[in-house]
Structure 1
Amino acid sequence: MATCTSIPLAIPKDGSLTKAMIKDIVGTFLTSEWPNVDPETLVVTKKTGYANTNCVVERPNPKGDTHSEPLKVFLKIHGALDGEIEVLKHLVPNKHEEAQLCYDYGQSGLGPKVYGFFQTQDGTFGRVDEFLDARSLEPEDVEDANIRAEVARGHAVFHSMETQLKKNPIQSYYDAVTRELARYHKMNKLKRLANEGGVSMDHLVDYDFVSRLRRVTDRLESIEGKKGWCIHDVQFMNVLVKNSPNQGESKIVLIDFEFVFQNYRAFDIGGHFLQKMFKWFDEENKIANCRPYTEEEKRHFCEEYSKQWNEKTGDSDTGEQVFMESELGFMLAITFEIRNMLCFMDQDGDKDPLNLLGLNKLFEEFVKQYKKLGLGS
């Protein structure tokens, strides 16, 4: 059970943490050796995070080379809700629910263990997790059939898992996202910012995503698209590849559950196919320098997914059924990304040309897929 522990310290408003503070946080949960560590001997490596502070914390190997507690842990400090999450606040898990979900996922052996969940005096939430010897999934990795199959099975298990989260109607999400897309439709501010960034986005801003998104969900309903616990933020950085997995253990780990709620499973599957084309944290180009998923690879993914889904649920879905759903889910995932990026532009005045080019690429993929599936007729 992920019980929230109060920790008697306050994190500065700039988010900076001293090594002494980090030692005290970790030592609250790992109580044998970590409390005796000299904080100045800690090696703290900050990891890139969009809204959160993520750190890998390593202590020296004790004398005699024996230790009962891990030498490395992963520390996550949750940031405040931003505009992207705020509009979905009624759907996404609160920090305690997210911690419980991560705890359950870790206890199942599928993900990192949660050592502790805490709140500081200033109201900040955070977690201390097991550090995994792993790297982020790269777009080229899924061209390996074995890795691709493991990612497919990992998503099928997550989508079908039992959780303590409330099952909100999926229409609640589509009501929220269509309201937002309608608000940005034909917004002159967005056109101006794009032009100032040297990239025209007029066609995207003037495009009626709302009516087209409704056609996509109507089609999913007509083919009885299945629903499950979707992660939504399925960029490749949120899939880890273990460097040295144990015998019989999955090489793939899914992480980052801030956006988990009920949706069409097609959202995450199509989103995974979409994300092979992008590297959002690259400083030189947001569009990945590799080929997209081929249809053959997509069908292989969907076949592996359906087998795992059926094993977990007792259903008898075919790979073809999952593939048909994923073709529609591809567009659901695009509208999620576009909505988030337009929100960022509107709130923060973003006109980074790399982001703008990424947005136009998303738009191009939506239009192409919508036409391919004959949804405009």
Structure 2
Amino acid sequence: MSRFLPSQLRFLRASDLTKMGVSSKMSDSNPEMRSTAARICRESLAGIWKHVNSDNIVVKHISGGLSNWMYLVQLPEGTVPLRGEPRQVLIRIYGQMHGEKTVESMITESVIFALLSERKLGPKLHGLFPGGRIEEYIPARPLLTKELADPELSALAAEKMAQIHRMQVPINKEPTWLWNSMANWLGTVEEVLNNFGDIDDKHMAIVDNIRSLQLEKEIAWCRNVVNQQKHEVVFCHNDMQEGNILLRQNTRKRELVLIDFEYSAYNYRAFDVANHFVEWQYDYTASEYPFYYERQNAEPTDEQKLHFIRHYLKTLGKEDPLEEEKLLDEIKVFTMISHLLWGLWGIVNSNSQIPFGYLEFADSRLRSYQCLKEKMIVSGPIRCGVKRKDEHND
């Protein structure tokens, strides 16, 4: 489940937008959509793709309505590639992104995707076009939430995260993404909360509770907590939840592929790990409102966290019990911050037309944040990697 949720979709050309409209007409059976897909392939791919048209390609809509619309496009049955070109590709059409720096964000994501493709850490990049890109189509399925706890899959996910973290990417290397995202979303929160129409008592109680929070002060408090310690900054995925982790199909051994790097940026490494662990507790496959399950007892145990951390550190060549302990302590801090971040995200999207219980989700994340903050205040500041006096007498 990609995190950016548009109120409308932005297409490739103004003429396409006018012809197709923004509400319905992304169906793979829509003649305009098929014509657009054929044009993109002719302009961006080589070989036999130069001769395709809307009548002789297979177009299948496989995902969409959140931040991207994705289509599997296949050559006609029996067609033989001329120069080793792919028989099938994935067309990704970007949705609208929040904020004033949309173009900058899209350029950054394209650079990141190209680097990941080159280093075989993500799908192969076949082409870029205004409003989207053409990617390798990977026969795969997203992991189920419960599969995140599978020891083998958890180890593979840890290795993938480590491979991402050791990348050197030519973008801003300061950990500004986390705080900028919070600040940007905070700027929208008040407007969103004031624009609700008639809502039931349950939702009004959630809105009232959110309004009672001093979110700007909470962000400042979290930033102060982080600044009290030195935390390693690396290139992070920042949204490594089960929907963005694909399990390749039809392979002899289990292999994972990471997708959806639109939130990727330099950030505190412990945020990426902590955020991944938090996602063990949320399942987004519910068929009825609020369209997610909160799995309150699914938080990874210390043993499960260590299993992940050890494979992560081994991949980086940093096998060290002190490093394990330091990362475990850092995760406590950034678990709390993950809840605050995505709580703000839920508020910002809570008046979206997309069917999802954003307000309930925001309430869940912010309550978890408050609970963890209270525990931290009672236990005292966390000294990352340093034993406190009461911990020496186990």
TM class by shorter-chain length?
0.7 to 0.9
Q: What TM-score, normalized to structure 1?
A: 0.80
CA contact (8 A) 1:190 1:205 kept: no
Residues 45 and 333 of structure 1, relative CA distance in 2, 3 Å threshold: farther
Give the match's secondary structure for 1:218. helix
1:31 match: 46
1:151 match: 157
| CA drift at 1:50 | 1.3
Q: What TM-score, normalized to structure 2?
A: 0.77
| CA drift at 1:205 | 3.0
1:255 match: 259
Give the match's secondary structure for 2:126. strand
| CA drift at 1:147 | 0.4
1-side partners of 2:237 and 2:322: how far apart? 21
Give the match's secondary structure for 2:310. helix
| CA displacement 1:269-328 (0-9 Å, x = unmatched) | 1111122222346442312558423222122212222222346xx999722222222222
- Counterpart pick for 1:370 among 370, 373, 379: 373
CA contact (8 A) 1:136 1:240 kept: yes
Give 5+ residue unaligned stretches, structure 2: 1-11, 27-31, 381-394
Give yes or no for the alignment of 1:354 onto 2:357.
yes
| Root-mean-square deviation over aligned CA pairs | 3.5
Residues 172 and 64 of structure 1, relative CA distance in 2, 3 Å threshold: closer
Give yes or no for the alignment of 1:141 onto 2:157.
no
1:3 match: none
| CA drift at 1:178 | 4.3
| CA drift at 1:349 | 6.5
CA contact (8 A) 1:194 1:200 kept: no
- Counterpart pick for 2:55 among 40, 62, 70: 40
- Counterpart pick for 2:342 among 334, 337, 340: 337
| CA drift at 1:366 | 1.4
Aligned pairs, how many? 354
Residues 351 and 79 of structure 1, relative CA distance in 2, 3 Å threshold: closer
Q: What pairs up with 1:185-334 in 2 under 5 angstroms? A: 189=194, 195=200, 198=203, 200-201=205-206, 202-245=208-251, 251-280=255-284, 282-284=286-288, 285-288=291-294, 291-295=297-301, 296-310=303-317, 318-334=323-339
Q: Which amino acid aligns with 1:220?
A: V
Q: Which amino acid aligns with 1:308?
A: T
Give the match's secondary structure for 2:312. helix
Give 5+ residue unaligned stretches, structure 1: 1-6, 120-124
Q: What pairs up with 1:40-119 in 2 under 5 angstroms? A: 40-46=55-61, 47-62=63-78, 68-82=84-98, 86=99, 89=101, 94-119=105-130
Quote the sequence identity (%): 20
Residues 179 and 111 of structure 1, relative CA distance in 2, 3 Å threshold: closer
CA contact (8 A) 2:277 2:300 kept: no
